[in-house]
A and B are shown apart, each in its own frame.
Chain A
Amino acid sequence: AQSVTQLGSHVSVSEGALVLLRCNYSSSVPPYLFWYVQYPNQGLQLLLKYTTGATLVKGINGFEAEFKKSETSFHLTKPSAHMSDAAEYFCAVTSPRGYQKVTFGTGTKLQVIP
């Protein structure tokens, strides 16, 4: 079984400050990991994904995440927060079944303070 834990259901940062959203996973096989963003009353948009290869993954809107196998982590970062980054962020992992049965974390709501 796979699982995802997102530490902190709410995170507040000042505009221009570093954004750090934490994600730890549990998987019995090498995982494929994802970060999605959800704006109010909208669907999920893929920010970035890690499958194989380089452990530092760059995504859209200036976000990046680093896969650390030894720490079973996939934290999401952005050097400088923008007001438009305020949204809910979900970390996710796929199952090893050959198709994407995605397991999501419970989400982290990011608030950006002007």
Chain B
Amino acid sequence: NAGVMQNPRHLVRRRGQEARLRCSPVKGHSHVYWYRQLPEEGLKFMVYLQKENIIDESGMPKERFSAEFPKEGPSILRIQQVVRGDSAAYFCASSLRLGQEETQYFGPGTRLLVL
């Protein structure tokens, strides 16, 4: 089985442009999580989604950031009007079921560089 796939692996944007990050969870997984890793820091939770629903977006900046997980297709993390501070690695994880014991499987990440 394929693991979590993320693309692109590297993304370069100029300030003010939009960044779209895609995440395809493990086949059959309906729970998706996005995390951001700033340089020299640990991962920070951004948002948790199930199919067609945002369950918890408490870690996501209120402006310019949005996430979706449609019925068909990958989950998308969208950053509008990027700024240099958005430069980071963005990781997606998925799990099969709900629950604290469920293992999250992480993708390889998308490294966003804002010039």
Contacts and interface: CB of A to CB of B under 8 A. Distances in A.
A55 interface: no
Interface residues of B, number: 30
A51 B102 CA distance: 10
B90 to A, nearest CB: 11
Interface of B: 4, 6, 31, 33, 35, 40-45, 48, 55-56, 91, 93, 95, 98-109, 111
Interface of A: 4, 9, 32, 36, 41-46, 49, 51, 90, 94, 96-107
27 contacts: A32-B100, A36-B106, A41-B109, A42-B109, A43-B4, A43-B106, A43-B109, A44-B91, A46-B103, A46-B104, A49-B103, A90-B42, A90-B43, A96-B100, A97-B56, A98-B99, A99-B31, A99-B48, A99-B98, A100-B99, A102-B45, A102-B104, A104-B35, A104-B42, A106-B41, A106-B42, A107-B41
